[in-house]
Amino acid sequence: MGSLMAVEDVYLLMLHEPYASSEHPVPINATIVHALTLLHPAVPQPDGGRMYRCLTEFPSRSPGCLIPLSTLTFELDGGLLWPDIADWKRVVDAVVRLARDRACDAMPLGLPSVAAASLANGPYTEVDVYRPDGSRSKIGTRERQQYIDEFAGYLANFTASGPFWPGNNLIDPPADPLVMPYKPHRS
């Protein structure tokens, strides 16, 4: 399935509107799924398939990597190329519905606000953190990568007992365009 250059076992971390779940003590505001879930027929297509290709074909991906949606936005010229790829909001909504309906394996997360702010922004964004005592600091690339590494560790522990199930009746990704457009954004 897909391009010969595609890296297998890529995972997507999506931040989304929080929802309550009786299984979790805090609202769920992020979900991790296998990139193959984007090929589920309940996901808007060809949008999901193009996002799958962006996740798996971008240069320097490695097997088992965890890619936040904000990194994908960064790679697509800070989001300027999204109109050529997908309506990412519709895709995220559909994937979160699949995860909530247990139509795929997913790792729901209730991220603290600092982690959510860091992961919602691109890899080179600094985020101001204001504390109740009035102090403030900045978090940047290093802290963002620490969050990604932490969640990748949880993912590795989960997948040690078996692969993530992306759902049933997956479709092939679109062959067009031949090469996905990438233009990492530097502000």
The number of domains in the chain is 1
DSSP letters spanning 61-126: --TT-EEEHHHHHHHBGGGTTHHHH--HHHHHHHHHHHHHTTSS--EEE---HHHHHHHHS-TT--
pLDDT value of position 135: 87
In a domain, 97, yes or no: yes
Does 118 map to a domain?
no
Count Cβ atoms below 10 Å from residue 57 Cβ, excluding itself.
Answer: 19
**Which residues, at least 6 apart from 167, have a Cβ–Cβ distance to it below 8 Å?**
36, 37, 40, 42, 98, 103, 104
Structural domain includes residue 75: yes
Give residue 186's pLDDT: 62
Is the separation of the CB atoms in 6 and 56 below 8 Å? yes
Q: Which residue has the higher pLDDT, 182 or 116?
A: 116
For residue 126, being part of any structural domain is answered with no
**Is residue 145 included in any domain, yes or no?**
no
Flag whether 99 is in a domain.
yes
Express each pLDDT in 91-149 by its tens digit. Answer: 999 999 999 999 999 999 999 988 999 999 888 888 888 888 888 888 888 999 999 99
Is 82 part of a structural domain of the chain? Answer: yes
pTM for this predicted structure: 0.90
On average, the pLDDT of the chain sits at 90
Asked whether residue 185 is domain-assigned, the answer is no
- pLDDT tens per residue, range 31-42: 999 999 999 999
Residue 163 has pLDDT above 90, yes or no: no
Domain that holds residue 98: 11-111
